[in-house]
């Protein structure tokens, strides 16, 4: 009797530049929903999609309209809207949202070509992650919640060096050059999407160490829009107050440079927001429970769930700092949002009979 309401997919958008922690975030998110996401079985081994019981994560690179050669010929980057097919993206996300399976293209990151499509069935939660989930107004309007990972240039550089130099053998100069080459299009097409995001995770160099340029200790800000349906911002101690908190002492071990939290109301691109900030890193992850117990509206199902999730994935990058903490909390908020949306749908027919 409530099948119509059940079939609707909740759609989440996650925007960030590549190499900025989207896949790590997705692993934390799918873990909150209980179950690791894996590539679809029996399909193209180069598929970028990840499927678990609850979630399907689509990489928006699959909507490249120009392949690598096409981009070279036309002189456009992958960040340029002209290299992406927003009409198809819109059609397919809309179809999935309304319960219809689609044949989604696959962009092969190895060959730089478009592979034959794969069938995507409507999941309970669809995450579209990539460079442009909030670029096209039609696609944006389909999103039930949107997140932007805002990694400052200093930190992006530090992460790229770590990965591309250590793991892929690139030179420092070539890493610098590739970041510089992307920057104009990044500034023009990717960065402006953050004003539409319901939550932004901003990652900056620490302020606890004067003139730090190592990018190891991070200052992370969770910017949460007020008035978003099914989403109530997290707060520290007292909702709406402005609070600075140094939890180091008898209950929390902190080595240099320590940990500092900040919380308060603010504005972001003209919107009212709440901002929760953590600068520094945890020495002992199990002591995170002390911090967790002072946060409210974190949408946990039991006491200590944030700490449990963080301990479970202690090996993921960012687990000892605000990136891991805030990604985990946003994951819990998305679970809450999903449960609210689905329960309001099943409740709707009842209300209708009342009227």
Site mask for ligand G6P (CB under 6 A), range 94-133, x = bound? ---------------x--x------------------x--
Neighbours of 317 (CB within 10 A): 14
In the complex, the smallest distance separating the C-beta of residue 90 from ligand G6P, rounded to whole angstroms, is: 19
99 binds, among ligand G6P, ligand ADP, none (CB under 5 to 8 A by kind): none
In the complex, the smallest distance separating the C-beta of residue 112 from ligand G6P, rounded to whole angstroms, is: 5
Query: Nearest Cα to 314, choosing from 276, 333, 288?
Result: 288
Query: What's the half-sphere exposure (Cβ side, CA atoms, 13 Å) at 98?
Result: 6
User: Quick one: which H or E segment has residue 148?
Assistant: strand 145-151
In whole angstroms, give the CA distance from residue 253 to residue 72: 52
Contact 57, 30 (CB under 8 A): yes
Query: Nearest Cα to 219, choosing from 355, 323, 292?
Result: 323
- Backbone φ and ψ of 11, nearest 5°: -115, 130
Contact 223, 202 (CB under 8 A): yes
In the complex, the smallest distance separating the C-beta of residue 113 from ligand G6P, rounded to whole angstroms, is: 10
- Give whichever of 140 and 163 is closer to ligand ADP, judged by the CB atom: 163
- Give whichever of 34 and 192 is closer to ligand G6P, judged by the CB atom: 192
In the complex, the smallest distance separating the C-beta of residue 13 from ligand G6P, rounded to whole angstroms, is: 15
In whole angstroms, give the CA distance from residue 79 to residue 13: 17
- 62 scored as a contact of ligand G6P (CB under 6 A): no
Task: Choose which of 10, 11, 50, 78 interacts with ligand G6P (CB under 6 A).
Answer: 78
- 65 scored as a contact of ligand G6P (CB under 6 A): no
- List residues near ligand ADP by CB under 6 A: 16, 18-24, 159, 162-163, 317-318, 323
Restricting to residues 270-329, name those near ligand G6P by CB under 6 A: none
């Amino acid at each position: 009797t409530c099948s119509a309401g059940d079939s609707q997919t909740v759609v989440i958008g996650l925007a960030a530049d590549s190499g900025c922690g989207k896949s790590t975030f997705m692993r934390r998110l799918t873990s909150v929903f209980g179950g690791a996401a894996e590539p679809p079985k029996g399909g193209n081994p180069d598929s970028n999609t990840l499927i678990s019981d609850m979630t399907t994560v689509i990489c928006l690179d699959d909507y490249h309209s120009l392949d690598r050669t096409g981009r070279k010929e036309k002189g456009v980057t992958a960040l340029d809207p002209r290299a992406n097919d927003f009409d198809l993206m819109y059609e397919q996300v809309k179809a999935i949202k309304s319960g219809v399976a689609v044949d989604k293209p696959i962009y092969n990151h190895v060959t730089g070509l478009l592979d034959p499509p794969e069938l995507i069935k409507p999941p309970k939660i669809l995450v579209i992650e990539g460079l442009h989930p909030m670029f096209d107004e039609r696609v944006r309007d389909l999103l039930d919640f949107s997140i932007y990972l805002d990694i400052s240039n200093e930190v992006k550089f530090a992460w790229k060096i770590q990965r591309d130099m250590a793991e892929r053998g690139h030179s420092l100069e070539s890493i610098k050059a590739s970041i510089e080459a992307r920057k104009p299009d990044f500034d023009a097409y990717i960065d402006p999407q953050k004003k539409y995001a319901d939550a932004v995770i901003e990652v900056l160099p620490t302020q606890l160490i004067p003139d730090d340029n190592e990018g190891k200790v991070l200052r992370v800000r969770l910017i949460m829009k007020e008035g978003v349906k099914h989403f109530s911002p997290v707060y520290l101690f007292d909702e709406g107050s402005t609070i600075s908190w140094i939890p180091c002492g008898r209950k929390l071990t902190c080595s240099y440079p320590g940990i500092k939290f900040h919380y308060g109301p603010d504005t972001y691109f003209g919107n009212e927001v709440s901002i929760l900030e953590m600068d520094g890193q945890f020495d002992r992850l199990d002591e995170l429970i002390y911090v967790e117990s002072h946060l409210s509206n974190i949408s946990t199902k039991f006491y200590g769930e944030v700490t449990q999730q963080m301990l479970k994935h202690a090996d993921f990058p960012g687990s000892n700092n605000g990136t891991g903490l805030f990604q985990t909390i946003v994951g819990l908020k998305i679970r809450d949002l999903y449960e609210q949306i689905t329960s309001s749908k099943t409740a709707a027919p009842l209300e209708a009979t009342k009227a």
